[in-house]
Structure 1
């Protein structure tokens, strides 16, 4: 590869990252409705043609934001690695999932998923990413406690679903008792994880 092409490609990558960062910021601060192509262009400080070169449609840009969330922003995807040392405790898993649900990355993903319910183009852009996100998150959390635990997949799913529901229930205004629900689930989860293995098929 020529030396002249390398800087050009590096600039292209840097511009793409700037656009994704701008779109993420717009979604976080103003929501999907306010995140227009023009707003992102202004936030990124690029020409409209430059934005459209990288992302021909608004839906393509939003889909790329979700991919960026998966690749870079969800902490559990970078901490739950194959080379992690000892398995984490179930309490650690609950704390990690609860923290991620309150992160900017989840807020942006939620903004897009809600918008996709009534936006056909956006839904078409996000559908191919949906299962990838769920699989990656589930696999990452399962690694924390050790995939060889016979109940890991189901207990991780219980944890993600229950905590997601608890978080969404208080997303407009914090609900009293939510922290008690999280603490109670830690107790229940420990009991489910260590109970008689002959009951594993019931879960």
Structure 2
């Protein structure tokens, strides 16, 4: 199979510590797995395909991730964490204009990450070995996204209905992401996001 072996790659980077090379290899595998899942779905995303895209051997991939399930759940989790970090970085001082925050949250549910996650969910519904890992992952990512939303929206969840309002926003964002999978839904999404921005301003005070 094509691709760069671990030995060859190490030879190219003689001054890079082994631990750093290992970390870089793991990151390339995770990014390649998400890209493959988004483009080819679960059936077309084998460990060999991901390893080739990442430029490493299949053995190197299995060293980092012993099973296919380990690789893909870790990949989606990794990019989800990256997106959460990027969202926080957009508003380094915390709470921001709520309309802008609503638009940024909706953006979390568009693009390759969400498409990859959908393929993973569909596979988990039929794969007993995969289902508990994906269920746990989604619960964790969902809690983190909710916490970020509460912080950025400066939402007081001690007030009645505020928690449900924030969760409703995230559910709406997920729905817009689904609608965008088949067709370019940008025009309608922009109008809906504008309306939700106004609603959040009114609901959160």
TM-score by length of structure 2 reads 0.79
Tell me whether 1:173 sits opposite 2:183 in the alignment: yes
Q: Are the equivalent residues in 2 in contact too, given 1:142–1:152 (CA < 8 A)?
A: no
Query: Is 1:131 aligned to 2:139, yes or no?
Result: yes
Query: What residue ranges of structure 1 are gaps of 5+ in the alignment?
Result: 1-5, 195-203
Q: 1:112 — aligned with what? A: 120
CA deviation map 1:142-196 (0-9, x unaligned): 11122446354332211111222233134212457443332222222222223xx
Secondary structure class of the residue paired with 1:118: coil
1:183 aligns with 2:194: yes
CA pair 13-37 structure 1, distance change in 2 beyond 3 A = same
Alignment of 1:14-93 (within 5 A): 14-74=24-84, 75-79=86-90, 84-85=92-93, 87-93=95-101
C-alpha distance in 2, partners of 1:178/1:77? 22
Alignment partners' CA distance in 2, 1:169 and 1:45: 34
Bigger mean CA offset, 63-72 vs 161-170: 161-170
The superposition leaves residues 109-168 of structure 1 with CA deviations (integer Å, 9 ceiling, x where unpaired) of 222122211122221222221211011000011111224463543322111112222331
When residues 118 and 191 of structure 1 are mapped into structure 2, their CA distance, relative to the original with a 3 A threshold, is: same
SS at match of 2:95: coil
Aligned residues of 1:70 and 1:77 also touching (Cα < 8 A):
no
> 1:7 aligns to what?
17
What SS does structure 1 have at the residue aligned with 2:130?
A: helix
Q: Secondary structure at the match of 1:120?
A: coil
C-alpha deviation, 1:105, in angstroms: 2.0
Gap regions ≥5 residues in structure 2: 1-15
The aligned counterpart of 1:94 is 102
8 Å CA contact retained: 2:110, 2:180: no
Per-residue CA deviations over 1:20-78 (Å, capped at 9, x if unaligned) read: 12212212222222111110121122222211111111001011102202322343254
Equivalent residues, number: 187
